[in-house]
Amino acid sequence: MTRVIVAGGSIAGLGAGVALHGAGIDVHVFERDAGSLSAAGAGLVVQPELSRLAEVVGGQTLPMTHCSGRRYLGFDGRVGHLQRMPQQFTSWEAVHSTLLKSFPSERYHTGASVLKTDNVANGIEVVVSGLGTFAADVLIAADGAQSPTRRALLPDLEARYAGYVAWRGTVLERDLPQVVADFFDDTFTFTDARSGGHALAYFIPGEGLATARGERRMNWVWYVGADTAERDDLLVTKDGRQRHASLQRGMARDEVVEDLKRRAPLELHPMFARLVEATEEPFLQSIVDLAVPRSVFERTVLIGDAAVIVRPHTAGGAAKAARDAIFLAELLAGPRFSTDEALARFEREQLAYGRELLEYGVKLGKQWARL
């Protein structure tokens, strides 16, 4: 039986675990983080690949919120008409916990970092912190945008900074003034910002993944222009550490958060400003583009954000991770191809799709972010 090791237990890695296990492959997932992994969690627009992974492949119901349409606001207070466009939303936390239900707990190892890999004949040996050395036919590196595996294999490849950051925040619906909760209800809401950029907001599942009105969580994103020096300054944490890609909740310096809240009423529609003001711990993501020139290196394959990072405007990062997971499992488990042929086919299709999505994200960035 094919044996697979997955480095990284987020959406791409755990998704690969679920899809491979469901296809009868012997798979173990090693996740570096020992905690609940929800610190970076925010809202996700549900795309078909994501519900396919959770519901069809995983056999679980994905907690989702719904809206019936989109509304575009202006920073000057304009309120546009509701355009009918039903959409479903979920959260990183909801996807992760749904996938976990479909995967045997004894095969999901937390606090387990993949430290070292060595190619051996027709396979790979992997050293995992605290657990020892494991042999496998294939290593799936789903270790994220900062992928240590990618950095070791492609040391000269750097992500390209897009010139703006995304501030994000979530607020429990019950903690919002009723008038604000009512204003955003049943709507995917967008606003432009006075100095360029835009913001968007939608409800996602709340505590305990509740989706009923009054129990949800509001999720917002505000794209803000920042040159490289400004971005680097924003990415210095409360305790003075320089981060390179993102700040999780609670990491942003107080003066940076105060400045964001001071600017919100000057830049955004008043209702959006109230969301920003009501958010206790906004968090930050530097917007970058990256696509690997190749994703298969003997028996190691990069998937998810380790291979291709797309802009959030595509609402496609999580769906791309789910797509990688499903497609790779189909090829590795199917009878038609040898392991090496399966990996070669995966690489061709994955990279073609990833580059297309990356370019689409750049185009949407130019059109929407105006930064």
Ligand X SMILES: Cc1cc2nc3c(=O)[nH]c(=O)nc-3n(C[C@H](O)[C@H](O)[C@H](O)COP(=O)(O)OP(=O)(O)OC[C@H]3O[C@@H](n4cnc5c(N)ncnc54)[C@H](O)[C@@H]3O)c2cc1C
Residue 56 CB neighbour total at 10 angstroms: 12
For ligand X (CB under 6 A), the number of binding residues is 37
Please state the closest distance from residue 90 (CB atom) to ligand X, in A: 9
The span from the CA of 195 to the CA of 9, in Å, is 39
> By C-beta, is 206 or 317 nearer to ligand X?
317
> By C-beta, is 129 or 270 nearer to ligand X?
129
- Which residue's entry shows tokens 């995992």? 128
> By C-beta, is 12 or 260 nearer to ligand X?
12
Does residue 354 belong to the site contacting ligand X (CB under 6 A)?
A: no
CB distance 173 to 214 below 8 Å: yes
Does residue 318 belong to the site contacting ligand X (CB under 6 A)?
A: yes
> Scanning residues 281 to 310, which ones bind ligand X (CB under 6 A)?
285, 304-306
The span from the CA of 189 to the CA of 186, in Å, is 9
Q: Which residues contact 281 (CB under 8 A, 6 or more apart)?
A: 169, 249, 250, 252, 257
Does residue 93 belong to the site contacting ligand X (CB under 6 A)?
A: no
> By C-beta, is 10 or 65 nearer to ligand X?
10
Residue nearest to ligand X (CB): 304
Q: Work out which of 12, 57, 162, 252 binds ligand X, going by CB under 6 A.
A: 12
Q: Which stretch binds ligand X (CB under 6 A): 26-34, 231-239, 253-261, 360-368?
A: 26-34
Q: Work out which of 4, 19, 44, 126 binds ligand X, going by CB under 6 A.
A: 44
Residue 356 CB neighbour total at 10 angstroms: 13
Show the binding pattern over residues 245-264: x = contacts ligand X (CB under 6 A), - = does not: -x------------------
Token output for 16: 């690969």
Please state the closest distance from residue 146 (CB atom) to ligand X, in A: 7
Coil/strand/helix, residue 354:
helix
Does residue 325 belong to the site contacting ligand X (CB under 6 A)?
A: no
Q: Which stretch binds ligand X (CB under 6 A): 7-15, 59-67, 154-162, 286-294?
A: 7-15
Strand partners, 256: none
The span from the CA of 113 to the CA of 96, in Å, is 19
Token output for 52: 């396919």
What values do phi and psi take at 238, rounded to 5? -50, -40
Segments in the chain forming alpha helices (H): 11-22, 48-51, 92-101, 148-153, 178-184, 228-234, 254-267, 270-277, 317-333, 339-364
Q: Are strands 198-204 and 26-31 parallel, antiparallel or unpaired?
A: unpaired
Please state the closest distance from residue 243 (CB atom) to ligand X, in A: 11
The span from the CA of 236 to the CA of 227, in Å, is 15
Q: Work out which of 22, 58, 317, 354 binds ligand X, going by CB under 6 A.
A: 317
Coil/strand/helix, residue 124:
strand
The span from the CA of 21 to the CA of 246, in Å, is 32
Show the binding pattern over residues 52-91: x = contacts ligand X (CB under 6 A), - = does not: ----------------------------------------
Residue ranges that bind ligand X, judged by CB under 6 A: 7-13, 30-33, 37, 40, 42-44, 92, 113-114, 142-145, 148, 168, 246, 285, 304-306, 312, 315-319, 321
